[in-house]
């Protein structure tokens, strides 16, 4: 079947909803609508959608339910799950761009569909990565975590986290929450690769570990510059993640109500 978001075709998003305890659309059909054909790409998109629910703290079962569909494993998606899936899709694909515009009109949140919900996932991975790194540097002889952390910022940004916060007009404890996905991913790489270097080279002591962190930060800085054309400290900030979460939870209520009305 050839599904389209546009109302210029015979079959639209509103035409293939089903009702059985919940108003839903089959994931297989919606991903076809989004132009996803390859099974690996579809699995990756579904995984990203599920992670978004975990990071938002919204009940996944109310929105994504595994079920049999024509003899194959599939998932029932709420309208909101379709929205999240579209947001996590590749906007370079025409069908995904159409879907994002469609849901922007549905929710009257035109600015949000351009916000990458994967930021939430990467931010969560940074928290876990920092916990792991903290345990590693403690075992390897770091006693001053603040100085170790400072070395990483100096390597990557050419300044301290306090100076970066002042440059951006942001509380230094909230720096990550204002970063875009590219910058978050770069910091995650800095964190994980510093830990790898410490383990692989069997480094020990405050000085060696600070040096390693500064060196890895400098390498990431160079990589970001090559790929973005600018230094990390000059990358644009984005909507704070707490505000983004609030907006997305409001949209959840709005689209859940729409499903209930359609089902009624």
pTM summary value = 0.81
How confident is residue 115, by pLDDT bands cut at 50, 70 and 90?
low
How high is the pLDDT of residue 167? 97
Q: Per the structure, how many domains does the chain have?
A: 2
How high is the pLDDT of residue 108? 63
Q: Do residue 104 and residue 23 come from a single domain?
A: yes
Structural domain contains residue 199: yes
Q: Do residue 107 and residue 146 come from a single domain?
A: no
How high is the pLDDT of residue 11? 55
33-48 pLDDT, tens digit each: 999 999 999 999 999 9
234-247 pLDDT, tens digit each: 999 999 999 988 98
Contact present, 96 and 104 (Cβ < 8 Å): no
Structural domain contains residue 69: yes
In the predicted structure, residue 212 carries a pLDDT above the cut 90: yes
How confident is residue 197, by pLDDT bands cut at 50, 70 and 90?
very high
13-69 pLDDT, tens digit each: 777 788 776 789 999 999 999 999 999 999 999 999 999 999 999 999 999 999 999
Q: Do residue 147 and residue 187 come from a single domain?
A: yes
In the predicted structure, residue 112 carries a pLDDT above the cut 90: no
Span 62-90, mean pLDDT? 93
How confident is residue 206, by pLDDT bands cut at 50, 70 and 90?
very high
Q: Strand ranges (DSSP E) for the chain?
A: 18-19, 23-26, 64-69, 72-77
Residues 6+ away with beta carbon under 8 Å from 34: 45, 85, 86, 89, 93, 95, 96, 99
158-194 pLDDT, tens digit each: 999 999 999 999 999 999 999 999 999 999 999 999 9
Phi, psi of 189 (to 5 degrees): -65, -40
Instruction: Please return the burial class of 163, using the count of CB atoms within 10 Å of its CB with bins 0-12, 13-18 and 19+.
Output: middle
Q: How far apart are CA 138 and CA 195, in angstroms?
A: 11
Tokens of 89: 């899709």
Phi, psi of 202 (to 5 degrees): 50, 50
In the predicted structure, residue 7 carries a pLDDT above the cut 70: no
**Could you count the other beta carbons within 10 Å of the beta carbon of residue 62?**
14
Structural domain contains residue 91: yes
Q: Do residue 57 and residue 122 come from a single domain?
A: no
Q: Do residue 47 and residue 133 come from a single domain?
A: no
In the predicted structure, residue 12 carries a pLDDT above the cut 80: no
User: How far is the CA of 126 from the CAs of 57, 115, 162, 183, in angstroms?
Assistant: 18, 19, 19, 11
Tell me which of 26-35, 120-129, 254-263 is least confident.
Answer: 254-263
Q: Do residue 102 and residue 153 come from a single domain?
A: no
How high is the pLDDT of residue 104? 81
How high is the pLDDT of residue 106? 76
How high is the pLDDT of residue 100? 86
Expressed as residue numbers, the domain containing 39 is: 13-115+244-263
How high is the pLDDT of residue 103? 84
Q: Do residue 198 and residue 161 come from a single domain?
A: yes
pLDDT-above-90 percentage for the chain:
70
Structural domain contains residue 3: no
Structural domain contains residue 6: no
How high is the pLDDT of residue 83? 92
Contact present, 156 and 179 (Cβ < 8 Å): no
Structural domain contains residue 2: no
- The pLDDT mean for the chain works out to 89
Q: Do residue 136 and residue 221 come from a single domain?
A: yes
Q: Do residue 27 and residue 72 come from a single domain?
A: yes
Q: Do residue 150 and residue 199 come from a single domain?
A: yes
Structural domain contains residue 4: no
Q: Do residue 93 and residue 129 come from a single domain?
A: no
Q: Do residue 32 and residue 110 come from a single domain?
A: yes
Structural domain contains residue 40: yes
Tell me which of 95-109, 197-211, 245-259 is least confident.
Answer: 95-109
């Amino acid at each position: 079947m050839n599904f389209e978001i546009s109302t210029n075709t015979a079959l639209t998003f509103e035409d293939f909803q089903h009702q059985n305890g919940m108003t839903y659309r089959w994931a297989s059909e919606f991903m076809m609508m989004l132009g996803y054909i390859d099974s690996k790409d579809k699995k990756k998109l579904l995984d990203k959608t599920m992670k978004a629910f975990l990071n938002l703290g919204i009940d996944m079962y109310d929105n994504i339910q595994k079920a049999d569909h024509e003899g194959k494993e599939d998932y029932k998606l709420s309208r909101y799950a379709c929205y999240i899936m579209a947001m996590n899709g590749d906007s370079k694909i025409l069908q995904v761009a159409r879907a994002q515009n469609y849901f922007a009109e549905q929710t009257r949140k035109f600015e949000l569909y351009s916000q990458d919900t994967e930021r939430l996932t990467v931010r969560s991975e940074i928290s876990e990565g920092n916990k792991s790194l903290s345990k590693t540097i403690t075992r390897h002889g770091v006693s001053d975590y603040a100085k170790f952390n400072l070395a990483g910022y100096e390597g990557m940004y050419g300044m301290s986290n306090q100076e970066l916060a002042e440059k951006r007009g942001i509380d230094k404890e909230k720096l990550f929450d204002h970063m875009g996905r590219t910058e978050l991913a770069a910091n995650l790489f800095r964190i994980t690769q510093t830990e790898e270097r410490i383990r692989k080279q069997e480094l020990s002591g405050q000085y060696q570990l600070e040096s390693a962190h500064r060196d890895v930060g400098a390498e990431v800085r160079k990589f970001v510059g090559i790929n973005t054309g600018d230094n990390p400290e000059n990358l644009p900030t984005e909507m704070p993640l707490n505000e983004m979460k609030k907006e997305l939870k409001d949209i959840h209520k709005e689209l859940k109500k729409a499903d209930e009305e359609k089902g009624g």
